[in-house]
């Protein structure tokens, strides 16, 4: 039996919408099969690539995935390591072993490495049943974050803030002279030379979050940044 | 003399004007406002949260908790006593049971999914408006769901079956029965059926038929509200 597609590529679909009929199509992320039908379980954009369908959610919180780089906050310390909160219901465990190559004494004071309330950028290495999450600090760019601001945005908007091949984030960095790090969980760390730069960067990121679904985003943000930077330089 | 003409001039199978919007409570994970005539419900979802006390936790799936509340100024004149009452607790429970069949909470093991429904203005059909709003808010929060739930109140006024009754009709002196029905239209399942008053077998069947027609129209409004926020993406 030949399958039939009931939607177009890049269409906004709602939970419970039938996407395709027949066994020719395969369910990807956020899609379930019920009998012969493929059904979306989330509000999002549908992506059709040959026979595989998937729904990219437009709303919702962050759910941890293996291999994600996230920004988290140290929430508690034990003798074995740290607990890190990154916006999910459960805190992730960071063991001492996954931080340093050198030997750490058993009774060493761990607060001198990462203290309560410190923000770190880290990698999710393993997830067991959504409850036990292991993270690691071994990898390029994984470190404790220095003085700066933490901003929280909707995790579904993270790809928009980063842009195609990092074009959007590169543009913000150029115009505002801020250092920026975006975690997959929607936490953004930013640090600039002065307060005005940082506030401008925050304003721009909020603007991207609000207008991410309107076409011509990159051009609009560029225009906005040029205008703002022009005012600052007295042009 | 029977009830021939409705107080507000609607047809017997006509709904009150509806409107819906999502993303009205910025602090929540997902939220929605649903209006049906003069009845206005706001629902906000907070999820996932670790569930305490711990003995309530379920290792296999999340726990849905609903709270239905009438605001003290919501009625027509008399102040509604704030806080939970017997009535609001019951409606919270039936709301929970009406929504659960379409939700998939496997991702949220040991967690709670909290849904708060606040009625800011009431004119009958509050539990139905609450369920419609909650279903939109859950979709906005990105909770995996099989289908949307639509709900409507039906009234039997003397010998007539009327769709989406108002408070004035609900207070009709003799021969009034009202039925609240929640539908999952894709699954063709009734998830809530409550009735109050004397009702015959045939009348109930007629009421369910009418409810399905009403729910189809409500579902269209819900779908429109969900898509409205992201309409522009399609043009890109």
* A137, A122 contact by CB (below 8 A): yes
Residue A5 is encoded by which pair of tokens?
Answer: 């597609």
Cα–Cα dist B21/B136, whole Å:
9
State the average pLDDT over residues A4-13.
Answer: 86
pLDDT of residue A130: 67
Residues of A within 8 A of B148 (CB-CB) are 14-16
In the sheet with B18-22, reading across from the earlier edge strand, the strands are: B18-22, B30-36, B39-50, B111-121, B63-70
CATH class of A69-144: mainly beta
pLDDT digits (tens, 9 = 90+) for A153-204: 988 889 889 988 989 999 999 989 999 999 999 999 999 998 999 999 999 9
Non-local (6+) Cβ contacts of A151 within 8 A are: A187, A188, A189, A190, A202, A205
- State which fold the A149-232 domain adopts: Ribosomal Protein S8; Chain: A, domain 1 (3.30.1370)
The class (CATH top level) of A4-57 is: mainly beta
Q: Which of A41, A60, A131 sits opposite B109 (nearest CB)?
A: A131
- In 3D space, the residue among B27, B67, B61, B62 whose CA is nearest the CA of residue B48 turns out to be B62
Residue pair A206/A186 in contact (Cβ under 8 Å)? The answer is: no
Q: Residue B224's closest CA among B150, B157, B166?
A: B150
pLDDT (0 to 100) of residue A235: 60
Alpha carbon distance A25, A38 (integer Å):
8
B4: how many CB neighbours lie within 10 A of its CB? 9
Q: Is B153 in the A-facing interface, judged by CB distances under 8 Å?
A: no
Calpha distance B22→B42 (Å, rounded):
10
Measured CA to CA in angstroms, residue B194 lies from B157, B170, B179, B182 at distances of 16, 15, 5, 9
CB contact under 8 A, B145 and A41: yes
Distance from CA of B231 to the nearest CA of A (A): 8
Fold match, A69-144 / A149-232: no
Residue ranges covered by each domain of chain A: 4-57, 69-144, 149-232
pLDDT at A10: 82
**B53 cis-preceded (ω within 30 degrees of 0):** yes
- Determine the pLDDT at residue B234: 47
Which whole number is the average pLDDT over A135-160?
91
Q: pLDDT per residue over A60-88, tens digit each?
A: 888 888 999 999 999 999 888 899 998 88
**CB-CB contact of B37 with B150 (8 Å):** no
**What is the residue extent of each domain of chain B?**
18-229
Please name every residue paired with A191 in a beta bridge, in sequence order, or none if there are none. Answer: A179
Q: What are the backbone dihedrals phi and psi of residue A5, each rounded to the nearest 5 degrees, phi first?
A: -90, 130
Residue A13 has pLDDT above 60, yes or no: yes
Query: Given this model, what pLDDT does residue A9 score?
Result: 82
User: Mutation test of the interface with chain B: which of A7, A15, A35, A206, choosing the one with the most B Cβ atoms within 10 A?
Assistant: A15
- Closest by Cβ to B145, choosing from A15, A59, A213: A15
Q: What is the pLDDT of residue A89?
A: 86
Residue with the bigger pLDDT between B235 and A37: it is A37
Q: What percent of chain B has pLDDT over 70?
A: 97
- How far apart are alpha carbons B189 and A34 in whole angstroms? 15
* C-alpha–C-alpha distance, residues B176 and B198, integer Å: 8
Q: Which two tokens stand for residue A219?
A: 């051009």
How near does any CA of chain A get to the CA of B200, in Å? 34
pLDDT tier for residue A27 given thresholds of 50, 70 and 90: very high
What are the CA-CA distances from residue B7 to residues A125, B168, B172 (Å)? 64, 8, 10
Query: Do A6 and A20 form a contact (C-beta atoms < 8 A)?
Result: yes
The CATH number given to B18-229 is 3.30.230.70
* Among B47, B140, B234, beta carbon nearest to A11: B234
Whole-number average pLDDT of chain A: 89
Residues 6+ apart with CB under 8 A from B1: none
> CB A14 to CB B227 under 8 A?
yes
Q: Cβ of B232 and A215 within 8 Å?
A: yes
> At how many degrees (to 10) do helices A195-211 and A167-176 cross?
150
Question: Among candidates B199, B162, B198, which has minimal Cα distance to B3?
Answer: B162
Cis peptide before B160 (omega within 30 of 0): no
Option in A60, A131, A213 nearest B141 (CB)? A60
Name the residue with tokens 């290495």.
Answer: A125
User: In this structure, are residues B134 and B98 in contact, taking their beta carbons and an 8 Å threshold?
Assistant: no
Using CA atoms, how far residue B96 sits from B3, B66, B68, B214, in Å, is: 35, 6, 10, 21
The residue written with tokens 């729910």 in the block is B215
Low-confidence ranges of chain B (pLDDT < 70): 1, 232-236
Q: Tell me, what's the pLDDT at B222?
A: 95
Length of chain B (residues): 236
């Amino acid at each position: 039996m030949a399958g039939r597609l009931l939607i177009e590529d890049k269409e906004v679909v709602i939970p419970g919408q039938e996407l395709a009929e027949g066994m020719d199509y395969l369910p990807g992320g956020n899609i379930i099969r019920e009998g012969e039908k493929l059904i979306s379980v989330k509000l999002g954009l549908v992506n059709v690539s040959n026979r595989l369908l998937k729904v990219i959610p437009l709303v919702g919180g962050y759910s941890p995935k293996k291999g994600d780089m996230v920004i988290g906050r140290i929430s508690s310390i034990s003798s074995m390591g740290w607990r890190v909160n990154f916006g999910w219901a459960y805190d992730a465990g960071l063991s001492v072993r996954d931080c340093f190559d050198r030997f750490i004494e058993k009774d060493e004071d761990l607060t001198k490495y990462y203290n309560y309330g410190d923000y770190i950028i880290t990698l999710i290495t393993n997830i067991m049943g959504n409850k036990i999450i292991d993270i690691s600090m071994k990898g390029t760019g994984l470190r404790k974050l220095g003085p700066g601001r933490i901003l929280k945005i909707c995790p579904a908007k993270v790809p928009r803030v980063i842009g195609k091949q990092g074009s959007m984030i590169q543009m913000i960095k150029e115009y505002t002279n801020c250092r920026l790090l975006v975690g997959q969980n929607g936490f953004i760390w930013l640090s600039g030379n002065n307060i005005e730069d940082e506030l401008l960067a925050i304003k721009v990121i909020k603007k991207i979050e609000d207008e991410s679904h309107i076409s011509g985003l990159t051009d609009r943000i560029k225009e906005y940044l040029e205008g703002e930077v022009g005012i600052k330089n007295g042009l | 003399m029977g009830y021939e003409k409705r107080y507000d001039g609607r047809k017997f199978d006509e709904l009150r004007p509806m409107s819906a919007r999502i993303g009205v409570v910025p602090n929540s994970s997902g939220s929605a406002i649903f209006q049906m005539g003069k009845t206005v419900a706001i629902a906000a979802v907070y999820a996932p949260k670790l569930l305490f006390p711990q003995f309530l936790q379920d290792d296999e799936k999340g726990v849905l908790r609903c709270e239905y509340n009438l605001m003290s100024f919501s009625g027509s004149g008399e102040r509604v006593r704030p806080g939970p009452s017997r009535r609001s607790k019951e409606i919270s429970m039936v709301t929970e049971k009406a929504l659960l069949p379409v939700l998939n909470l496997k991702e949220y093991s040991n967690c709670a999914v909290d849904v708060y429904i606040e009625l800011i203005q009431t004119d009958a059909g509050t539990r139905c408006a609450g369920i419609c709003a909650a279903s939109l808010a859950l979709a906005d929060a990105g909770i995996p769901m099989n289908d949307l739930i639509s709900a409507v109140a039906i009234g039997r006024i003397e010998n007539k079956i009327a769709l989406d009754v108002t408070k004035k009709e609900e207070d009709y002196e003799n021969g009034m029965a009202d039925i609240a029905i929640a539908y999952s239209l894709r699954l063709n399942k009734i998830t809530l059926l409550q009735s109050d008053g004397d009702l015959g077998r045939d009348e109930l069947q007629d009421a369910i038929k009418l409810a399905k027609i009403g729910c189809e129209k409500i579902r269209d409004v819900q779908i429109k509200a969900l898509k409205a926020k992201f309409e522009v993406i399609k043009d890109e």
